[in-house]
Amino acid sequence: MQASALHCFLAAALLAPLGSAGAEPTGRTQLVLLGTGTPRPLPDRSGPCTAIVVDGTPYLVDAGPGLVRRAQAATDQGVAGLTPSGIERVFITHLHSDHTVGLPDLIFTPWVIGRRNTLHVHGPKGIREMSDHVLAAWREDIEMRTNGMEKKWPLRVEAHEIQPGVVFRDDKVTVTAIPIRHGAWKHAYGYVFQTPDRRIVLSGDTSPSPELVAACNGCDVLVHETYASATVAPMPNWPEYRRKYHTSTRELGELAKQARPGLLILYHVSRRAQDVDLIPEQVYLDEIGSVYSGRVVFGRDLDVY
């Protein structure tokens, strides 16, 4: 076996999914899919949220609905580091509701059950105002819990409005915000997580963005949204909308050929169809596979890589 082929084989073996029960890390970094869904409320798919866990420290990307309970489910199934009260940092890709309606849950539930430290929320312009409004909306709850019989410690939330480039660094990760193209949104980002043993790129919602190709450039894992050719939606301008806001399977295959990730994970996948309830997962894999020969998996909630 040639050296390059051996490298690809070993990379694929190391990045095999660990499953959703009793998962043990293959290295210092785990990627946990807490939510892989879309605005459509499918019971088995929470809203978009991905956890990067490095040496037991969690960093979240996006705050879709259901994320706190998915974090607890991952904890119950053996993933160390995702106890909800220990989650203290989240990076938001953009301010669409399906990526942010879990933010109040992330602010309050872990605090109620034990988080004492500050929750840091990183995101595009507008994330500070959103966070402030969430706190204002629940001001009576905060007052009751802190000054009533519970005597809770102060609730601390700090919002950080970001620009492209390095937005966070500690001894475990360097996080870089990548501007992406998501229709009319002026501020939308993908993220690169450089950890001691992996480079992971997460697309957020995006149409094909050369910036993501450059950011990956042989990365270990690329987590990317997509839609199949058969997807439909009850809006007359849907074809134009999805071209401007999202990435088709064929476009993603072409993008992956240039980006060369060790593993491509599909998430936040539009599955609306004309004649069936859900487009089968294999359709996406086949459409991407028609132009891209690398390793591709269809992500599911609570998968661990």
Residue 169: Cβ within 10 Å count = 11
Question: Cβ(115)–Cβ(82) under 8 Å?
Answer: no
Question: Cβ(66)–Cβ(104) under 8 Å?
Answer: no
Active-site residue list: 98
Sheet holding 199-202, edge to edge: 165-169, 174-179, 189-194, 199-202, 221-227, 263-270, 296-298
Q: Where is 74: in which H helix or E strand? A: helix 67-76
Residue 254, token pair as written in the block: 């072409």
214, exposed or middle or buried, with CB in 10 Å at 0-12, 13-18, 19+?
A: exposed
Question: Cβ(48)–Cβ(98) under 8 Å?
Answer: yes
